Amino acid sequence: MSLTDILSPSDIAAALRDCQAPDSFSPKKFFQISGMSKKSSSQLKEIFRILDNDQSGFIEEDELKYFLQRFECGARVLTTSETKSFLAAADHDGDGKIGAE
């Protein structure tokens, strides 16, 4: 399964266009534009599984840096500040990684 089986390719493209400039990435806005914010819990878990590159059950900081590239190979890498902000917003237990929950 791929992300385009769950999300519209045009919505993914729009979300990536919105954050092309360094330090312009906003997880909340990306999730809205890409359509992720409208998906069911089971669909979000499948998206998480696809984004979890090493299939560890968590998305760690190293994987998060390449978050946009999981949507499109040529997409940019998140900046250090974007990666740290994204991790801080989603890491609810402070363990330095994001779980599917």
Q: Coil, strand or helix: which one is 33?
A: helix
CB count in 10 Å sphere of residue 30: 20
Residue 63, marked binder:
yes
40 among annotated binding-site residues: no
Q: Is 95 annotated as a binding residue?
A: yes
The annotation status of 10 as a binding-site residue, yes or no, is no
The answer to the question of whether 5 is labelled as a binding residue is no
Q: Outline where DSSP puts E strands in the chain.
A: 58-60, 97-99
User: What are the φ and ψ backbone dihedral angles of 64, each rounded to 5 degrees?
Assistant: -65, -35
Q: Do the annotations mark residue 84 as ligand-binding?
A: no
61 is in an annotated binding site: no
Contacts for 84 with CB less than 8 Å, ≥ 6 apart:
61
Q: Which residues are annotated as a binding site?
A: 52, 54, 56, 58, 63, 91, 93, 95, 97
Annotated binding site for Ca(2+): 52, 54, 56, 58, 63, 91, 93, 95, 97
